[in-house]
Structure 1
């Protein structure tokens, strides 16, 4: 799993300066505007690695992920340590973003320059000298078994991303929605901003053939109305779903009481779009429910071409004319008698 985010030119230059100056102990790095961006480097407070660890404390915030590139000693410019700090209470999409980009960080800067990769969810895992001593002992055991530093980074990447995927599943099923839902858990309330016309449009879905499409302005994390139409046929509904961006679409299928919710996220979507839309999906459904919309069918697809008029008809509980006539002609046919052996 890769995020598509890359190291900025600014980071490349800062990293070169960091490796060239052995007085620097740490280089903090964050993700900003879909690029890996450096912060001010931190100097050694002594000639000892563990004695300099307390200088990292202010950079380890309770809910904010960060990368830290650490120098093991002022005497060396190789064998750097790539620390990924992702607090367990950080927003799910931030967890995914930082965990899925950490491998890119070391590769873009030069995998051969790193001797270890550490993933931490609590600040004491970074600040406590005892944890570093335990890691050093563990690394020695692995090297005796023939595992290279590069292999170690990749295997840790795969293992740690499993926990991020579990967090995403929790978000999908509504168990970790507190960063998007209102504190009171009200079904129709979003912590992210929602425009008035988006809410008002949802109230029109009581009419057959009505169609409402919502999207998220990612930069401001605002849920907004993209389209709203009435009396639209299934083919027109599918044509109105964009193929170049994620969207949430609600459609009241004509002649039924079925309201279909269609979430699409094309493969060409930016990584941040995918994460924001995925984490907000359950809350958007709660918003619709709070506005009186009874969603009876839910569809999730990568691309719009994967959903057809026949699929919509099936979801609405209707049969095509061809299928009905075939069933009528067949009737209740008596099963054939088994042949003789």
Structure 2
């Protein structure tokens, strides 16, 4: 690719993700990246230009886009992710046809996106690729359906699991996630950011809460189940400064380039739920003190990204087990690069660059054929 490359980004024009990417394109001395609004894509009013390289960004954080995808006027509602998934995957598949017909190149393969946004399918693909993942009774297309709390209870019992994460199959940002545990007496507790209203509707909250009555847990799970659920073993996380810790590792064009430690006093480390950035140097030291190698942790992330070869950039959520010796991948995020101000890892080739500048630099080095092979 030469400096004559022309980039387009499908995104929400007012969103900071789009602004960060356009800033990176401008800083690289390239022509201004053209913005193609998700609203236009979803309404079927989209055109691309011959020779353009097209990047997809998140359709989130826009109420009009959310209304078209999920069919709700309230962005805080949890329900509607199955409809979101159907609309999003249909739109990206049609988008790929339009991009190809125009003689442009799409960086993100719709076939990969359809797997990445279904946790059951993503778990199975990672497992089949030999990537360490938590045990799951709902992995893959042949897994039994989860129709409600009774099914969750049964699957936990059959698999010998006393602590699990119950997740929306098509959820993101910890929406609809419950950390469920049973004690020796069979009592059930769940930690979640889901708030259940008196009329049964579910809302995302910035406050993590704990349900201690099984009937309350069952009511939430039963309301989530129509959108599809995924269950995973709740693995004990490593700790940093007395807080549970995991890592978000960004992989660009097959190489781990950025990493951030996230810590929390709750099972969910998401920063918007009270999580905080931890020390990457301390994490690396803990790994090496435990007798493991930091390079092995990054290798796990690169192997996870390699399971989605049609996607140029992913964010891998890496869980270091207690003791920092072993690692498992709990999520691979198609739009996991929003880490403002974070520069690249030493030796990654992205030193001094943020995640967006790194992606632009990668496109300048490598012909943009990433997303075309698995449409």
TM-score, normalisation: structure 1:
0.23
Higher strand share: 2
Higher RCO (CA-CA < 8 Å; seq separation 6+): 2
TM-score, normalisation: structure 2:
0.22
Higher helix share: 1
* Larger Rg, first or second structure (1 or 2): 1
